[in-house]
Amino acid sequence: MTLNTGAGLKRDRVRDFLLDFVADMKAGEAIPSERDLCKELGVSRPTLRAAIDDLVRSGVLVREHGRGTFTGPHRVTQALAATPSGSFYAPPAEGHWLSRILEFGAAPAGPQLARRLQLAPAALVLRVVRLRVVDDEPMAIERLHLPHVLVDGLVPDDMESGSFYRVLRERFGVDVRSAVQTIEATVTDETEAALLSVPEHFPALMVERTTRDVNGGIVEFTRSIYRGDRYRVTSELHFDAASG
């Protein structure tokens, strides 16, 4: 029971180890105490705690003062706050994420998409449908639409791994700045259910996101379906003194 000796931050290696460790545990089960884990893994407690902090923030683990640390309900949590590092698609709950590209191609926008992207209806739009998979389990279907002029030369490989936003910035000079996102409840239709390996009419979240670059131009319009049993959105609200 030791850490991979691979590269990367020790704290990340600890976190990955814990993810593996937790993978085949039931929800709500206790993990070893922090002090035990330190000895076992040969790391200091601050390092271990930093790793656990990540997993608590992402909902994988739940701490209870004086009792122990437990596996969370089996859910992936997406923080709405823009993460300082990594793309904000990237759910903080780690595990091995990848994308299966189901569709990739350009076509005229048509009336609805044209309005969403603020383009002419005849303008070309790149449409990408991808299945997001964690540890071989389908989690979400994303349907992305981008003005084709912005991303001429983009290939499916660019979306398979890594941060799509970084590709946008480094290869296409598109600097994503802000997004407006709406979330609503829905249930899966037949094709969605099949792709996500759940029954039809299964609870799901539909997330629509419109993303803008630094100049306020629309970069993408995305409509996604997330499995309701595996996904959860967390946000932190702050009120100023005057708010009711």
232, interface contact from a copy of itself, DNA, none, CB < 5-8 Å by kind: a copy of itself
CA dihedral 23, 28, 34, 39 (to 10 degrees): -40
The distance of closest approach from Cβ of residue 165 to DNA in the complex, given in angstroms and rounded to an integer, is 19
242 is a site residue for a copy of itself (CB under 8 A): yes
Footprint of a copy of itself on residues 53-92 (CB under 8 A)?
56-59, 63-64, 75, 77-88, 90
**3-state secondary structure (DSSP) of residue 129:** strand
Tell me if 49 sits within 8 A of 33, measured CB to CB: no
The distance of closest approach from Cβ of residue 105 to a copy of itself in the complex, given in angstroms and rounded to an integer, is 26
Tell me if 78 sits within 8 A of 234, measured CB to CB: yes
**3-state secondary structure (DSSP) of residue 44:** coil
Output 62 or 80, the one with its CB closest to DNA: 62
Output 106 or 114, the one with its CB closest to a copy of itself: 114
Closest CA to 52 of 23, 15, 16: 15
34, interface contact from DNA, a copy of itself, none, CB < 5-8 Å by kind: DNA
What number of other Cβ atoms are within 10 A of residue 223's Cβ?
Answer: 16
Pick from 3, 124, 183, 218 the residue near a copy of itself by CB under 8 A. 183
Tell me if 121 sits within 8 A of 95, measured CB to CB: no
Output 32 or 203, the one with its CB closest to DNA: 32
Crossing angle for the helix pair 10-23 and 45-57, nearest 10 degrees? 60
44, interface contact from a copy of itself, DNA, none, CB < 5-8 Å by kind: DNA
Looking at residue 151, its amino acid is: V
Footprint of a copy of itself on residues 96-155 (CB under 8 A)?
115
Tell me which residues touch DNA (CB under 7 A): 9-12, 31, 33-36, 42-47, 49-50, 63-69
CA dihedral 209, 214, 216, 217 (to 10 degrees): -80
Output 9 or 23, the one with its CB closest to DNA: 9
Output 80 or 159, the one with its CB closest to a copy of itself: 80
- Distance separating alpha carbons of residues 146 and 219, to the nearest angstrom: 6
The distance of closest approach from Cβ of residue 173 to a copy of itself in the complex, given in angstroms and rounded to an integer, is 13
Region binding a copy of itself by CB under 8 A among candidate stretches 5-13, 18-26, 35-43, 197-205? 197-205
- Distance separating alpha carbons of residues 214 and 174, to the nearest angstrom: 8
Residues that bind a copy of itself (CB under 8 A): 46, 56-59, 63-64, 75, 77-88, 90, 115, 163, 165-166, 175-187, 201, 203-205, 226, 228, 231-244
